[in-house]
Chains A and B, each alone.
Chain A
Amino acid sequence: MKRRPRKLFLILIGLIPAAVLPLPGQFHPGQYTDEAPFRTWNSFPYAGAAAAGRGHTVFAWATDASSTSANPALLLTLPKATVALGGSFQWATAMRYGPVNSGLLIASSPIGGSSFTGDHAVVSLRAGRFAFAAGVFLSEIYDRPGAEVYDNENQARLYTIRFTQTGLLRTFHLAAAFQLSPRLGLGAGVNAAAGRLTMELMEDLRFLGFNFTSAKSSSLKGLSINGGIFWDISPSLRAALTFRSPFTLEAGTETVDRYAAPEAGTEIIIRGESADSFKRPLAVGAGFSIRHSDRFRTALDVAWTRWSSYEAVWLGDAPVRDFRDTVRVSAGGEFLSTIRIFRKIVEAPFRFGLIYDPQPPARPRSAYWGIAAGAGLAIDGFRIDLGGLIGTAQDAGDRLTSARISLSCGYAF
């Protein structure tokens, strides 16, 4: 047993500043696995701020071209040429991950972190009965709150242990849509995902004269397709179906374990590598949007993801991932008002939404309930939207929370 003071094991973990370790969205006990996306087990990439403000309802309602990641057919409903950019500030708490509350470091309450991220950049073009889009999306983030414990004596650092995990997955997206009839359109997209996941644990036992570092780094890549249709059943009612194909996220992982006792002149480095993979499941969605009046519209999305088929190979082994299929439900609406700014009439939508987001791990079962709100301004083709979502994990026991504030802007030619 290391005879360092026992209090080290009981010290609440200090946080490395959030700016160093960006951290989006929700987190709950089922996401303790190394490869778990930090915000949620996403089936579709981040939507824009307008969709976020109405509870992430995006299958049957496109405000900007970011909707192509969920339903490319909706490109046919956009103006002839558009550009959309989006980013977000994200905050969440986490309770158990890496060495935290898994045996090494103990945190008595959830640990929070935050980050600014770029979410999407998309252009779309509509020509006749066709529409096209190209863009890049942030699909997942793998960051965790940084954990650091240290012990000083007489202002001298005797001991330090530090854990960091960062990573993200971007999706490069190309899509095309075809208008089958004035009321029916379909679209499909190709998604090339690429990213990185890195984690490092450093322990410096200066009082014993040695330190060691364990670092793991995975480069991620995968290819999937997504598609969708919409059907304007009536001028006020639209239905949509979407899917994202199953795909394998290949991960080439490199590990380095390094021991050093500088004064003794000892250095030992052990390098390893493994071919890992994460089999992501099929996701299917259905959505409706209803135009109640020229100023008021609501939407409902239901997304089913076949998480029971999820499989992971990590560091050469196939860890148990007891996942269940999930059905995510979101609903939201938008009230469109107009205001006068500098003698111009400006559209000013106000949005609201609810989301129920069950997470795939079967034990403990948990789900996120979230509320969303947002607003925007649109004038002469330019639009800017702000959307926020705050959620709390239910049934997980740690009362974890998350929040995300998204900002999107775009221009329609």
Chain B
Amino acid sequence: MKRAILLLPVLAGVFVLPVFGGTPDVKIVSVPRSAALAEAAVRLDLDLLAEIEGRVLIAASPSDLRKLAECGLQIVDESVLFAPSSPPASSVYSFSPIGAYHTYRELADDLAALQIQYPDLARVVTIGTSLENRPILALKVSDNPGLDEDEPAVLFLGCHHAREWISVEVPFLFGRRLLEQYASDPAVRRLVDEAEIWIVPMVNPDGHDYSVRVYRYWRKNRRAGEGGLFGVDLNRNYGKAWGCDDEGSSPDPASDVYRGPASFSEPETRAVRDLILSRRFGALISFHSYSQLLLYPWGYTTLPALQESLLKSLGTRLTDLMRAVNGRDYVCAQAGAALYLTNGDTTDWAYAATGMPAYTIELPPLDILGGGFFNREEDIDPIFQENLPAMLALVDWVIAHPDPEPDPADPPRRSGRKKNPPGPGIIRR
């Protein structure tokens, strides 16, 4: 019996060791600077790293994260920005949950890898956080990416709509191409030297994640509403003509084009808005799919914008460049006249707020039976290649026309012509 009792401490060790044996994984997170944070930092003995633009970076263990959350502090996981010094193996075309397409995590890793590989040309910037607390990441490509230079800026957006996976790839590949070609291509170097090129490949990371994990055809973000209804259509949530009718968007939370309770009610659209208003953006492309269209404002009415001729001529030039690559036709047209009415969309607001040419590109295929929101993996690169000259040309145009004139016109909400609502068989994009 004595021997048995002597064994007890050893046995106790067996139970205790696993409790203390592991080192918890530490994450780099950011928290807004506040009095609550200051109090928590002292009380919790937090490991504060730095402060950037009003947010404090913290090395936090899982335990710290729980305690910070209990303090009601808004935590953003910034670990992706502190990736290992060697770039991760490219997730594209290799070991990936969705083949050649990017998941959010892969996109974050690949953007971080680009920043590491091209530190003098690329910066990954968190422009906001999604409802589910995912950083909305932008890639800034410029010759001095760490500086806010007085250069014209161009913005390329992807994935407002979760299921439009190809719209992530085209802007991402554009950023990568600029960085890869900078040293060898004088034309690319000139564009990067003379402009700030901002790329936000995934405006809607939460919705995209849901489309990967659960439902491939999910469109909206992940706003939880009443009655088990989820999602706001981010491309109906911007502030120009928001909710001006129930045809270009819907007040019904069950609808795929639900516009939300107010304009800019969603953090994702606020992030894009704040980015646009913070700089001298001279043009914008928001990528969507499908239909092979290049659309310009207005979308909320069939009446033309004051700068219709500019929008159309520049747009036509871009579609000509796109057609020249693979022979694939993209139709350039006013959004409200060519497709269907859309109110609260990105390009209407951006054009109204800044006067910059703002385009929606509906990427291939042409129709639902050609794949709709599905694109073959082997089509990603050809689609990117045919959009590349237009994207480069738009940056070049902005350098030549750095200061857009705001459009003073505010046309009436509706034109005289009644636009037919989409009938059966039409899927909104």
User: Which A residues are within 8 Å of any B CB, using their own CB?
Assistant: 1-4, 6, 9-10, 34, 96, 98-99, 101-104, 106-107, 180-181, 183-184, 186, 201, 203, 207-210, 212, 214, 227, 229, 241, 243, 245-246, 253, 255, 257, 259, 261, 263-264, 266, 268, 270-275, 282, 284, 306, 308-309, 311, 314-318, 320, 322
Question: Most A CB atoms within 10 A — which of B255, B422, B427?
Answer: B427
| A interface footprint on B214-230 (CB within 8 Å = 1, 0 otherwise) | 11111110100001111
Report the minimum CB–CB distance from A303 to chain B (whole Å).
13
Q: Is the CB of B19 within 8 A of A282?
A: yes
Chain B residue nearest to A274 in the complex (CB): B97
A318 neighbours in B (Cβ, 8 Å): 105
Chain A residue nearest to B25 in the complex (CB): A311
Assess A203 versus B95: contact at CB under 8 Å? Given A208-B368, A243-B15. Answer: no
Report the minimum CB–CB distance from B96 to chain A (whole Å).
5
Inter-chain CA distance A186–B63, complex, in Å, is 33
Residue from the list B212, B222, B427 in contact with A1, Cβ < 8 A: B427
Residue from the list A98, A253, A259, A309 in contact with B62, Cβ < 8 A: A309
Q: Is the CB of A181 within 8 A of B98?
A: no
Q: Chain B: interface residue count, which band?
A: 35 or more
Report the minimum CB–CB distance from A71 to chain B (whole Å).
13
For the complex, would chain B's binding face be called helix, strand, loop or mixed by DSSP majority? loop
User: Which B residues are within 8 Å of any A CB, using their own CB?
Assistant: 1, 3-4, 7, 11, 14-15, 18-19, 22, 24-25, 62-63, 66, 69, 91, 95-101, 103-106, 132-133, 209-210, 212-220, 222, 227-231, 250, 254-257, 368-372, 374-377, 422-428
B91 neighbours in A (Cβ, 8 Å): 316
Q: Is the CB of A317 within 8 A of B216?
A: no
B106 neighbours in A (Cβ, 8 Å): 316
Question: Most A CB atoms within 10 A — which of B11, B369, B374?
Answer: B374
Residue from the list B98, B209, B230, B256 in contact with A257, Cβ < 8 A: B98
Q: Is the CB of B14 within 8 A of A227?
A: yes
Which 5 A-B residue pairings sit nearest by Cβ, starting from the closest?
A103-B230, A1-B256, A264-B369, A259-B374, A274-B97
Question: Most A CB atoms within 10 A — which of B25, B69, B133, B212?
Answer: B212
Assess A317 versus B98: contact at CB under 8 Å? Given A1-B256, A3-B426, A308-B66. Answer: no
The 27 listed contacts between A and B (C-beta, < 8 Å) are A1-B422, A3-B424, A3-B426, A10-B254, A101-B228, A103-B230, A180-B3, A180-B7, A207-B424, A214-B216, A241-B15, A246-B18, A246-B22, A253-B97, A255-B97, A257-B98, A257-B216, A259-B374, A264-B369, A268-B374, A270-B101, A271-B99, A272-B96, A273-B97, A308-B63, A311-B25, A320-B133
